[in-house]
Structures are given as C-alpha cells and as structure tokens.
C-alpha cells in the first residue's frame, strides 16, 4: 500500500539515551539510498537534535511554522544524504505541548507531503508526555527502541502500556540498540514480549531487528555524519540496512487509511 501512499512510522522510546535519533537519521539515510523519497520529522519539539546529528544549521524550523507563518517548504531542509528533514527547535518552552490549533496547522502542512514522499519518519521524544503520545498515535507503525538495560526495558513497557490502555494501540515493532550480540538482543525482546503478554492482553510485538554496539557510531556522532554514510561495511550500518529493508515490507494496517491527513485530523478529536 505504501507504494502509492506514504508510510508514516515513528521511532520512539520510553527512556532517553537509547540512540533513537541516531537510528532515525540512519534509517532515513538507508531508505533514501534505496531510492525512496524520505522526510524525517524531528518530533522532539522542545529538545530537537536531528539537525545537530547531521551537522546542519537550518534557517527555519517548526517554531517558525507555528509562530512566524513560515510555509512547509520554507521549513523543509535538504540533507546531503538524499532525504529532507523537518527540524524542530531546542530549548523553546512554547513547543513542549502542541495546542489543538497547532496540531491542525501541522497536519495541514504535512498534507502537502502526501504526493512527495514514500516514508515520513517521525523521531519522537522519549517518555510518555503529550507530544510523544500524540506523534505515536499519528503513526501507522511504531518502532520502539530499547537497549540491554533494565531501565530501558521498564520504560519501553511503560510507553507500550500507556498507548495500549489509554489509546487502544496494540501493534508495535521493536528494535534493540547497542546489543552485545544477537542472543542478548533476542533475550531483551523476549523479556519485553513476556511482560506485555502477561499484563497487556492483545498487544502484538514484532522484533524488527537489532543494532550491535559499534565504536563507529560514536565516531560518526562526533563528526556529525550518519554512520551509514561513512562506514558502509560496519556492523552497525549493516544492521540498520537490514532494518531499513524490513521497514520496506511494512504495510499500512488494513483497517486504516494511508492518508496522512486522515490520521492527524482524527487525532484532534482524541487528544
């Protein structure tokens, strides 16, 4: 279905510091390298850093869309890696919680992307605040990132629990980042799966893949470049390419319309 309509998927987490933004950037990089039209939305509105990871200095961001009358095309920022970003602002308290009017403004702007992209990647903030929940609800697929740490597991479960019990979301993809090896990643996924299966009836989890701990990741972050652009044969890049290939098999859920505007407008009456 997403061959004709864009697939909107979030990259999200319960805990900060799990590498979510870096994964979002590198997934966008790999999808673009596969010939897909990709926009990466920085939805961590108050603490945005997609532009920092990419070493870019956008002249405008979503703050200007909401407060200065900027258009979507004025906010869209091209990258050297074949995809565009919709940058947000950092340290702006006005962006911490979107009003209904701002949500409407954003959905109207994003509606213009419908014929121009194959994938809209939504890099959410961490936790369970209003913006995180809103953007996860707006996605057609949700990729939950966790690391091999008890706190990351607990917080990932908390995010899934809130989305399930408060909003009826039941289907999640899971990515284990900074894994020691495949066995350890599968053990973390199994622990999360068992907790959800025991306490959250009806929740469905799928392991989208894992990314091993790799020293190239930190080097790329320091150089402000995607590691999938500088170390194509590194273990981390090979893993992210595999996840990107998996993403391309995802469908818009059969019960849902693929239209971006449909999702976001529906949410105005729920949030």
| Bridge partners for 86 per DSSP | 41
Distance between CA 242 and CA 208 in Å, rounded? 9
Q: Are 230 and 29 in contact (CB under 8 A)?
A: no
User: Which tens digits make up the pLDDT trace of 58-67?
Assistant: 999 998 988 8
Distance in Å from the first CA to the final CA of the chain: 27
The conformation of residue 261, written as its DSSP 8-state character, comes to H
The CB-side HSE value for 249 (13 A sphere, CA atoms) comes to 7
pTM (2 d.p.): 0.93
Q: Are 153 and 186 in contact (CB under 8 A)?
A: no
Q: What angle do CA 130, 169, 161 make, to 5 degrees?
A: 70
6 phi, psi to nearest 5 deg: -65, 145
Looking at domain 7-268, what is its CATH homologous superfamily?
P-loop containing nucleotide triphosphate hydrolases (3.40.50.300)
User: Given pLDDT bands bounded at 50, 70 and 90, which one contains residue 2?
Assistant: very low
User: Which tens digits make up the pLDDT trace of 104-131?
Assistant: 788 788 888 888 999 999 999 999 999 8
Q: Are 215 and 223 in contact (CB under 8 A)?
A: no
Q: Are 242 and 207 in contact (CB under 8 A)?
A: no
Positive or negative torsion for Cα 182, 185, 191, 192: negative
Helices 130-138 and 260-268, axial angle in degrees (round to 10): 140
User: Given pLDDT bands bounded at 50, 70 and 90, which one contains residue 254?
Assistant: low
Distance between CA 177 and CA 207 in Å, rounded? 12
4 phi, psi to nearest 5 deg: -105, -35
Distance between CA 216 and CA 219 in Å, rounded? 5
pLDDT at 168 over 50: yes
User: Which tens digits make up the pLDDT trace of 4-52?
Assistant: 678 999 999 999 999 999 999 999 999 999 999 999 999 998 788 999 9
Lowest mean pLDDT among 89-93, 158-162, 198-202, 212-216: 89-93
Q: Which two three-digit tokens encode residue 142?
A: 């949700």
Q: Where are the domains of the chain?
A: 7-268
Q: Are 147 and 135 in contact (CB under 8 A)?
A: no
| Bridge partners for 38 per DSSP | 119
Query: Which of 248, 23, 253, 252 has the alpha carbon at shortest distance from 123?
Result: 23
């Amino acid at each position: 279905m997403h061959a004709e309509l864009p697939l909107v998927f979030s990259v999200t987490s319960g805990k900060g510091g799990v590498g979510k933004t870096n994964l979002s950037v590198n997934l966008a990089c790999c999808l673009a390298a596969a010939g897909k039209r990709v926009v990466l939305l920085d939805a961590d509105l108050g603490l945005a850093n997609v532009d920092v990871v990419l070493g870019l200095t956008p002249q405008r961001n979503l703050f200007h869309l909401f407060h200065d009358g900027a258009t979507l095309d004025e906010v869209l920022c091209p990258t050297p890696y074949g995809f565009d970003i919709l940058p947000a602002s950092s340290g702006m308290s006005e962006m911490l919680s979107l009003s209904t009017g701002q949500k409407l403004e954003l959905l109207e702007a994003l509606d213009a992307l419908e014929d121009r992209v194959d994938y809209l990647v939504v890099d959410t903030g961490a936790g369970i605040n209003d913006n995180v929940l809103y953007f996860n609800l707006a996605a057609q697929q949700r990729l939950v990132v966790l690391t091999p740490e008890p706190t990351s597991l607990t917080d990932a479960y908390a995010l899934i629990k809130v989305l399930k019990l408060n909003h009826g979301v039941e289907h999640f993809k899971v990515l284990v980042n900074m894994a020691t090896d495949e066995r350890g990643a599968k053990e973390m996924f199994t622990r999360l799966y068992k907790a959800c299966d025991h306490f959250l009836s009806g929740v469905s989890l799928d392991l989208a893949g894992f990314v091993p701990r790799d020293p190239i990741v930190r080097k790329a972050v320091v150089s402000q470049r995607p590691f999938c652009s500088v170390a194509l044969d590194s273990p981390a890049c090979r893993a992210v390419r595999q996840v990107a290939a998996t993403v391309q098999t995802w469908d818009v859920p059969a019960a849902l319309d693929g239209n971006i505007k449909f999702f976001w407008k529906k949410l105005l009456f729920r949030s």
